[in-house]
Amino acid sequence: MSDAHPHVAVAEQFDDAEQQHEAAGLGMWIFLATEIMFFGGLFASYTIYRNLYPAGFLAGSGLLNAKIGAFNTVVLITSSLTMAMAVHSAQLGRRKALIGFLFLTLLLGLTFVGVKLYFEWYHDYLTHVAPGFGFHPEGADLARIHALHAPLSAVELFMCFYFLMTGVHALHMVVGVGILTVLIVKAWRGRITRESHNIVEMAGLYWHFVDIIWIFLFPLLYLLGVTR
Amino acid sequence: MSEHVASPKMYVVIFLSLIGLTALTTAVAYVNLDAMLGLKNLPLNTIVALVIAICKASLVGLFFMHLRWSSNVMRLVVVCAVFWLAILITLTGADFFTRNWIPIPRPWQASVTYQRSSGIVIPSNVRR
Amino acid sequence: MATATVTAIPTDTGIETRNYLNADYGLKSWLLTTDHKRIAWLYLIAITFFFLVGAIAALLIRIDLLVPQGLIVTPETYNKLFTMHGIIMVFLFLIPSIPAVFGNFLIPMMIGARDVAFPKLNLLSWYVFVTGGMFVMYAIAAGGVDTGWTFYTPLSTSYLNTHVMAAAAGVFIAGFSSILTGLNFIVTIHKMRAPGMTWFRMPLFLWSMYATSVMQVLGTPVLAITLFLVAIERMFHVGIFDPALGGDPLLFQHLFWFYSHPAVYIMILPSMGVVSELIAAFSRKRIFGYEFVAFSSVAIAAISFLVWGHHMFVSGESVYAGVVFSALSMAVAIPSAIKVFNWTATLYKGSISFDAPMLYALGFIGLFTMGGLTGIFLATLAVDQYVHDTYFVVAHFHYIMVGGAIMGYMGALHYWWPKMTGRLYPDRWARVAAFIIFIGFNLTFLPQFVLGYLGMPRRYAIYPAQFQSLNVLSTAGASILGVGYVIPLIYFIWSLRYGPVAGPNPFRAKGLEWTTPSPPPPHNFEQTPIVTEEAYAYGSGVPHSV
Amino acid sequence: MLFGLLLGFLPEASTMARPVDYLFWFCIAVLVFFTALIFATIFYFAIRYRRRSEDEIPPQIQGNLPLEIVWTVIPMGIVAVMFVWGTALFIRNARPPADATDVYVTGKQWMWKIQHSNGRREIDALHVPEGVPIKLIMTSEDVIHDFSVPAFRVKKDVLPDHYTSIWFTADRLGKYRFYCDQYCGMGHSQMRGYLYVMTPGAYEAWLHHGVQAQTMAQAGALLYNRMGCSTCHGTGKGPPFAGLYGKTVRLANGSTAAANDAYLRQMILYPGQKIVAGYRDIMPTFKGQLTEEEVLDLIAYIKSLGSKPGNTGE
């Protein structure tokens, strides 16, 4: 790949395309480091509270539907695959495959957000389990809470962290979906060629990172409650 | 983020292993490991779930995000971020989980005598 | 450097040739610039504005404390004043001051690059910073916020209805400007050094900027999420940090101080970098123990993330955690001590000249020593139990921030002003201002150490009468300090128009930034320089000034 | 020394004050020494090596490893001494002696409500006998406050919903100020008062002077019946209290908890969090119906029902 970039638009502050590519990659990874620390604040608080109120978090996790969580995980991992294939086809300059895979990733991302919004959050709102919106679980939920001797404030705290962590994650998904639409438009106009595919790689890094965050969220939030 | 172009076949293999690991972690979650192995206060289920999650995350990171073929600086950034997060969690935990430890062993404290400013020594165990 | 009389402007200086200031005219050329030097100017203007607002709040506080029951404002207004003073000075002046102004202007020039790695991101950082600043200004205009710059819960979440949301949003947004600047600098220093510029040939200013950027990148996001949680708790009345609803206020303090202690190093480390430059330039010597000073910057960046617990020794933190944090806090004092000793050793057998920047650098070393050592008082468990949250702490961190960070900032401003504007400032006035600032500063904050020793608590609008004499002394000092800061403001603006023309290297210093004309052309270097010698190689001849 | 002479020493009124002062003056000595060292060296070098001629090139000194090691190890040594000395004092002061007299302090937005175990109450004032170790058990009704007595060199934050405690043994008669050191809103600067150290005899007289309010335990007994605690805890539906205080209690989820003040408070206000083994989770919460003082009275009553000797929790 010696003359990998015969006529690539090199920004004037860079000497050559290789330096530009390396700089963009490092910049993206440092941004992902800040995202790790951003989510890190939530993970740290979650860890502390989970050890302070084990029963409350166990009961709270029981309120979630692990099957939908698993389905969403599979959706997100598939979208990671299609994103990786999109980056692959961008590197080889196959425009049609690029647009196809980008569209697939977009679709999967929208499915994920859609499932979360309708089947999980809206359902929790209806069953009065959403904190801040009149949190008073009843029926089977209440029975499970009492069975585990969990104080209601701790269950509400768990639901707080559930909505916060998945909310911030969903926000990042929406931003990702926005980036994908921009990429599809650029690719459609043929502005992403074999030489100038950097932006697709960066979008790929971002998407895979958001997938990694979900990989950790799924067991911490959903799988805690299913253990019988 | 080097110029390495990975083969689609490798991507699919990684994808399938990720799906497999997801299935595994979900299945294991339904089994109450503590009861099965009888370990008293070790959150076995959590540990297993986290180990699988770390494996999945490193698969995505190394192969999908090309960390395996990128320069050491990129890997250093990731390692530093995870290490700093570990600092936050461990040192905050150090405070929360040692809060109700009794500060010092009983005998040493009891023997400390009180030096009154006027020189009279009051042994601490004398009932006032 | 004798003050050159105002002669006709010689043609070969930067003023007449095409430079980054006269390359383009009009508001659009400034507001949409991607030139790192112009963005440095944008930051300088924004920061000076915020410094003035914060300084007014400080003076009002000092005037109010002239009398035990408060001279001019009610306790509520006093609480809003010290909160505003804290938020503006910390988040809108000290944290961005040297990194955003001198980091932006100098990092590309010192490593021989044409611009930072991501110029557009650099401009975005400025807009994000100004937006955050405007949120804080709105919080003042709409009625102020009285939580203290630390936003402690449950006071900030459930017991106050002042403009906490606006202030928290302002700090949240300004934090992202700090993150993006840090990201930009790390990539620039890693990827865009000129050929021959190895890590150990870089000036020490770049080492401290690199360490500062690492702290900005890894620390600020945790503050962002913490303020986000406070905002969520205020909006939805959920108990993340409020004990009445099941949360724990100490968790907020942990998350807040995890960022805010590295933040105090983000404020002081750039000044240390500046002082390394000034000491080397004005004693025309290589910094004594270059590697030790460089590695101590990196060591400070690493250890600063382990020590935040010393802010919570008496807050109900466990005794064991207190002991661990106290030990780690002792470790973080060592790199600072190494730096101070190495600077002093650099003066040995040097050829020292007393230009204004050098006065600020020498002032920095003295005052930072006092500030640093009183810091070790507060890291010692038994002493902290006695003087925590008293004026002893206020005096300690003002010695570090005003005696250290602002002294370094003023030194940098004087040292690189000729390079930024092509004009010289009046040297005699600059030295007078430096002395006034040094005297005023010490008169303001030494009495506060004694107030702390006597146990006067922090953030008291009304205090017992026995502390009045010391408070009057402190207010007198504050007015002198105020005058000291106004003088440079005047003569810098004066020098823009009437200052004598400065050649490319008025202080005859070593460094790539001095090899360009002043003010430098838009792309800094005609062709990328090749670096052959280490950072302060005065041995191979002192560069000419013209 | 300079500071103290100038403006009068802060009185050392507790056994803890003198050792802390010795450490404080040691730190001041280190501060004065190093500041003088740095200022003197800078002045000497600045004058001795001032620039003589414009083109003078001073000898370029690379550095000196042994010197670097010296001024790394020496500060480490000094700092280590401060650390060990400070930690020893702090730990010794962190644990109240067994026979300390309990005094209950409640911080409420902008006043201190203080209550002695015999029921004597006072606002923004605290009377203590000389020579007797006093343990302050403190809690807050709203935000975080901080009970600080400069003359005793001791302070601790007062957290809502938690008990924090400090202890001291006053050893000099007189009137000393105490402050709220943690910013707590508008009236933060008025939240202060006086601490009177009296001779044991005068203290006893003061304690029983005034209206014969019943002791905290008696007030707790009245509350115990009025709130209907006796309907369950006396009849076996709820765990008995005789000899409970200080014992370790086995809980429904298998773990154990020490029955100290914090545990009793948690059981009264958040009964669901820890269920005693063998009993059902049927106790209603009394949060909001009881003020902090009433909770303290109930705890004093439970304590008075006999406790294992010589064991006070945190």
Quote the number of domains for chain C.
1
Query: C-alpha distances in angstroms, C216 versus C85, C95, C125?
Result: 22, 9, 13
Considering D208, D233, D266, which residue would you say is the last residue of a domain?
D208
Residue B114, strand partner residues: B122
**Shared domain check, D203 and D180:** yes
Distance CA D144, CA D185 (A): 10
Residue D174, strand partner residues: D197
Most C CBs within 10 A among A10, A13, A46, hence the mutation to make, goes to: A13
**Shared domain check, D87 and D12:** yes
Name the pLDDT band for C386 (thresholds 50, 70, 90): very high
Average pLDDT taken over every residue of chain D: 85
Quote the number of domains for chain D.
3
B34 within a domain of the structure (yes/no): yes
Q: Which residue of C has its CA nearest to A53?
A: C246
pLDDT given for residue B116 in this prediction = 34
pLDDT given for residue D212 in this prediction = 61
C535 within a domain of the structure (yes/no): yes
Considering D39, D69, D94, which residue would you say is the last residue of a domain?
D94
pLDDT given for residue C518 in this prediction = 84
Residue appearing with tokens 């000094």: D78
Average pLDDT taken over every residue of chain B: 78
Identify the three-state secondary structure at position B16: helix
Secondary-structure percent of chain D, ordered helix, strand, coil, rounded to 5: 40, 25, 35
Q: What are phi and psi of D14, to 5 degrees?
A: -135, 160
Q: How far is CA A85 from the centre of its chain?
A: 18
Residue D107, strand partner residues: D112, D140
C14 within a domain of the structure (yes/no): no
**Shared domain check, D170 and D83:** no
C13 within a domain of the structure (yes/no): no
Q: Which chains touch B (3 or more CB pairs under 8 A)?
A: A, C, D
What confidence tens digit (pLDDT) does each residue in D50-67 have? 888 888 888 888 888 999
Please compute Rg for chain A using Cα positions.
21
Identify the three-state secondary structure at position A153: helix
pLDDT given for residue B84 in this prediction = 95
Most A CBs within 10 A among B19, B24, B26, hence the mutation to make, goes to: B26
pLDDT given for residue B20 in this prediction = 95
Give the one of A11, A12, A160 whose C-beta lies nearest to C238's C-beta: A160
pLDDT given for residue B103 in this prediction = 64
Copy the structure tokens of residue C544.
């000419």
Residues 135-194 of D with CB under 8 A from B: 169, 171-172
pLDDT given for residue B118 in this prediction = 34
Q: Which residue of A has its CA nearest to D275?
A: A149
Q: What are phi and psi of A114, to 5 degrees?
A: -60, -50
Domain containing D187 equals 101-208
Of residues D246 and A223, more confidently modeled: A223
Q: Residue B111 pLDDT > 50, yes or no?
A: no
pLDDT given for residue B108 in this prediction = 46
What confidence tens digit (pLDDT) does each residue in C464-518 have? 998 999 999 999 999 999 999 999 999 999 999 998 998 889 998 988 889 888 8
D310 within a domain of the structure (yes/no): no
Most A CBs within 10 A among B15, B31, B64, hence the mutation to make, goes to: B64
C59 reaches B (C-beta below 8 A): no
Q: Residue D311 pLDDT > 50, yes or no?
A: no
What confidence tens digit (pLDDT) does each residue in C120-162 have? 999 999 999 999 999 999 999 998 899 999 999 889 988 888 8
Distance CA B68, CA C152 (A): 44
Task: Answer whether B49 sits within 8 Å of A219, measured CB to CB.
Answer: yes
Single out the residue of D219, D214, D199, D223 nearest to residue D290, CA to CA: D223
D273 reaches A (C-beta below 8 A): yes
Q: Which of A157-161, C2-6, C179-183, D288-292 has the lowest mean pLDDT?
A: C2-6
The Cα of B114 is separated from the nearest Cα of chain D by a number of Å equal to: 7
Domain containing B13 equals 8-100
Mean pLDDT value of segment B102-108: 55
Mean pLDDT value of segment B49-73: 92
Mean pLDDT value of segment D107-117: 90
Q: Which of A184-198, B105-119, D283-297 has the highest mean pLDDT?
A: A184-198
What confidence tens digit (pLDDT) does each residue in D249-286 have? 887 767 778 888 888 888 888 777 777 887 777 777 78
Strands D101-108 and D133-140: parallel
Residues 169-188 of A with CB under 8 A from B: none
pLDDT given for residue C127 in this prediction = 97
Quote the number of domains for chain B.
1
Q: Is C465 exposed, middle or buried (0-12, 13-18, 19+ CB in 10 A)?
A: exposed
What confidence tens digit (pLDDT) does each residue in D174-187 have? 999 999 999 999 89
CATH code, domain carrying D260: 1.10.760.10
B105 within a domain of the structure (yes/no): no
Distance CA C114, CA C526 (A): 9
| pTM of the predicted model as reported, rounded to 2 decimal places | 0.91
Domain containing C304 equals 27-540
B1 within a domain of the structure (yes/no): no
Q: Is C33 exposed, middle or buried (0-12, 13-18, 19+ CB in 10 A)?
A: buried
Residue boundaries of the structural domains of chain A:
17-226
Mean pLDDT value of segment D84-112: 89
pLDDT given for residue D210 in this prediction = 65
- The three-state DSSP-derived secondary structure of A143-154 is HHHHHCCCCHHH
pLDDT given for residue D260 in this prediction = 81
Q: What is the predicted ipTM? A: 0.89
D253 reaches A (C-beta below 8 A): yes
The Cα of C538 is separated from the nearest Cα of chain D by a number of Å equal to: 7
D10 within a domain of the structure (yes/no): yes
C411 within a domain of the structure (yes/no): yes
Q: Which residue of B has its CA nearest to D19?
A: B115
Q: Residue D239 pLDDT > 90, yes or no?
A: no
Task: Answer whether C320 sits within 8 Å of B94, measured CB to CB.
Answer: yes
B12 within a domain of the structure (yes/no): yes
Distance CA C242, CA B64 (A): 41
Distance CA B30, CA C235 (A): 37
Single out the residue of B34, C441, A153, A160 nearest to residue D253, CA to CA: B34
Q: Residue C78 pLDDT > 50, yes or no?
A: yes
Q: Residue C1 pLDDT > 80, yes or no?
A: no
Name the pLDDT band for B112 (thresholds 50, 70, 90): very low
pLDDT given for residue B117 in this prediction = 33
Helix (DSSP H) and strand (DSSP E) numbers for chain A? 9, 0
pLDDT given for residue D213 in this prediction = 65
What confidence tens digit (pLDDT) does each residue in C88-105 have? 999 999 999 999 999 999
CATH number of this structure's domain A17-226, picked from the four choices 3.60.15.10, 3.40.50.1000, 2.60.40.10, 1.20.120.80: 1.20.120.80
pLDDT given for residue B128 in this prediction = 29
Helix (H) or strand (E) holding A112, with range, is helix A95-115
CATH code, domain carrying C391: 1.20.210.10
Output the CA torsion sign for C435, C437, C438, C439.
positive
Strands D145-149 and D174-180: antiparallel
pLDDT of chain A, 228 residues: tens digit per residue: 333 444 567 777 888 888 888 899 999 999 999 999 999 999 999 999 998 888 889 999 988 999 999 999 999 999 999 999 999 999 888 889 999 999 999 999 999 999 999 999 999 888 888 888 888 888 888 888 888 878 888 899 999 999 999 999 999 999 999 999 999 999 999 888 887 888 999 999 999 999 999 999 999 999 988 877
Taking the CA of residue A199 as centre, how many other CA atoms within 13 Å lie in the half-sphere pointing to its CB? 18
D244 within a domain of the structure (yes/no): yes
Identify the three-state secondary structure at position D256: strand
D257 reaches A (C-beta below 8 A): no
A217 reaches B (C-beta below 8 A): no
Most D CBs within 10 A among C145, C330, C365, hence the mutation to make, goes to: C330
Considering D68, D94, D120, which residue would you say is the last residue of a domain?
D94
Residues 20-79 of A with CB under 8 A from C: 22-23, 26-27, 30-31, 33-35, 37-42, 44-45, 48-49, 52-53
